[in-house]
Amino acid sequence: MATADLIMYSDFISIYNSIHMKHQILKYIILGFIATSAVSCNDYLNILPKGQKMPVTYADFEPLLRDEYTVHHTRTTQSTILLNDRFVSSANLNYYRLWDANYFWRENSDRIELNNADEDTYYQSYASISTCNLIIANGDKMTESSEQQRKELVATAKVIRALNYYILANYYAATYDAATSASLKSVPLILSADVGAPHTQVSIEELYQFMISEIANSLPDLPTTGLTVLHPGQGAAHALLARIYLQMGNYPLALQQAEKALSINDKLFNWLNYHEQNKSRIESPLDYTLKETPVDHSYVENYYFRHGNDASSYRTTEYALRVDRASGFEDGDAKFLSRWKLRTVGPDTYYTSTMTGYHNLQGLTTVEVYLIKAEALARSGKVDEALTALNAVRKTRILADKYADLQTSDAAQAIKWIQRTKQNELIFSIMPFADIRRLNKEDTYKRTFNKTEVGANYQLSPTSHLWIMPIPQGALDNPGNGNIEQNVSK
C-alpha cells in the first residue's frame, strides 16, 4: 500500500461517529485499522475514503490527540444523577428510566437492562483509549520527527490513557480497597489498537498498578507543561498520580505528588475579583443573561483540559442545581454565585446556569491538588498545615465579608471541611462520586443520603450496590477477543 495519500482525521471521526454505541468495545478501536498489519489493503478501502491512506509522519499522528470530542471528552452522567448534584426535570425522569432509577435510589431496578439507553461513559472512554493506543503503538515508527518529539507524544498519550482508566475504574468497578482489590474485577485493559487484539478484564489492583506505572514511566519524557492544554505535561502527570494515591489511601505519596504538581503550577483563579467585576449582573435576580465561563481552555488553574457533561463540539451551559444541593455551598461562595441563579419555571424551582462556553469539568486543576494536599496533611496529623492549604483555596472563593479562616485541631473535622469544598469545586466531574465511595469505607466519613420528593422519602446507604455503575450489556454480549464479567448485580 502506498503512503503518499494521507487519511484526514476528520474522515476517521465521521467513520467513528457512524458506528452505533451499542456494538462491541473493539469496534471503537476502528482507528487501529490504520496502524495494524492484520488488515489487508482491500480491507482498508472498505472503511476509508478511496484514495486516502494511513498516517506515517509525526505531523500525521500528533493531531489525533487534539480531537476534543473523541479524546478529551467524558460524561459521567449517572454518577452526577445518583449524587443528586443536578436538577432533573420530571419530564426527563419519566423518559429516561435509568436516570429515574439512580435519581430516586431505586435498589430494585434492573439498571443492567436500563443501561442500554446510557452507555456513553464506557464507549467514549474506550474511544479515547483507542486513539492513545494507536499513537503509543506507532511511537517508534513515526517519520519526519525527532526522537524527543516521538517520546513526548507517546508519553502524553499514556497519561491520557491512564486518566481514562481512572474514570472507568471508579465508575464501573468497586472502589479501591487494599483488602479486596486483588480479587475484584475492574474493567478490560486494552493496550492495542488492533481490532482483533486480545484483552483481559484485570483486577482493581492490577489496573491501579498499571496506571501508576504508566504515568511514572511517562514523566521523564514529558515537558513541564504540555504542548497545549489538551496535552498533559509533568504538572498534570503529578496531579493524576496524587489523585490515584489518594484514592488508594496512600497519603504520603499523594502528598508528595501534590507538592510536585504545585511546584509546577499553584495558581488559583480569583473568583472574588470576577464577582466584583460582574456584580450588577450576578446580583440582579431576574437577569439570566449567559456570561462566557472563565473555566475554559485558558483557565489559570488548568493542568489538563477535558470536557464533561455535553459534547465538546459546541458551547454549552452547566447543569442546573437542585435547591438542596445549592445549600451545600458556603455562604458567600463567589464561584457559586457567579455560576448559578435561583429560578422558577412552572412547577420547578432550581438554580440555573448563568455561564456558557467550554468547561473543564473532567480535567486536572490546581484546586483539586490543593485539596488533595490538604487531606493528605490532615491524614498525617498535620492539621494546621492542612487548613492552610484549604484556606488558601477559600480565600479566592469566599467573599471578604463572609470569610473567616477555618480552624480546628480535629483531623476528622478538617477532612469534612476539605471534602465540602472539594465536592463543590469539582461538581459534575467523576471526583465527587469517587471521593464519596472512598470515604464510605470509613465509619467516620461514610454518609447516608436522604431526601423527600412529593411526600415520599428516599434513602441511599453507603453500602448500596448503586455505587457501582453496570457495565453496558452491549459490551458483555460483544466482548471482542476477551471476556467481560459484570461488576454489580443490578
Residue range 267-315, pLDDT digits in tens? 999 999 999 999 999 999 999 999 999 999 999 999 999 998 766 778 8
Average pLDDT over residues 215-231: 97
Instruction: Give the chain's count of helices (H) and strands (E).
Output: 22, 11
Distance CA 176, CA 188 (A): 16
Domains recognised in the chain with CATH numbers: 1-80+107-208+450-481 (no CATH), 264-447 (1.25.40.900)
* Contact between 30 and 195 (Cβ < 8 Å): yes
The per-residue pLDDT for 53 is 53
In this prediction, residue 115 carries a pLDDT of 82
- Which residues touch 484 (CB under 8 Å, ≥6 apart)? 188, 201, 471, 475, 476
Question: What pLDDT score does 10 carry?
Answer: 35
**How confident is the model at residue 454, as a pLDDT?**
85
Torsion of CA 267, 268, 273, 279, to 10 degrees: 150
d(CA 263, CA 259): 6
Q: What is the pLDDT of residue 14?
A: 34
Look up cell 503512503; give the residue.
3
- What percentage of the chain reaches a pLDDT higher than 70? 88
Residue 386 has φ and ψ, to the nearest 5°, of: -60, -45
CB contact at 8 A, 77 and 309 = yes
Retrieve residue 312's grid coordinates. 465538546
pLDDT over threshold 90, residue 26: no
Give the pLDDT of residue 49: 42
Please give the grid coordinates belonging to residue 233. Answer: 505535561
Question: For residues 192 and 44, which has the higher predicted lDDT (pLDDT)?
Answer: 192
pLDDT at 46 over 80: no
CA dist 205 and 130 (Å) reads: 22
Cα 114 to chain center, whole Å?
A: 23
Give the largest CA-CA distance in the chain. Answer: 70
Percent of the chain exceeding pLDDT 90 equals 82
Report pTM.
0.90
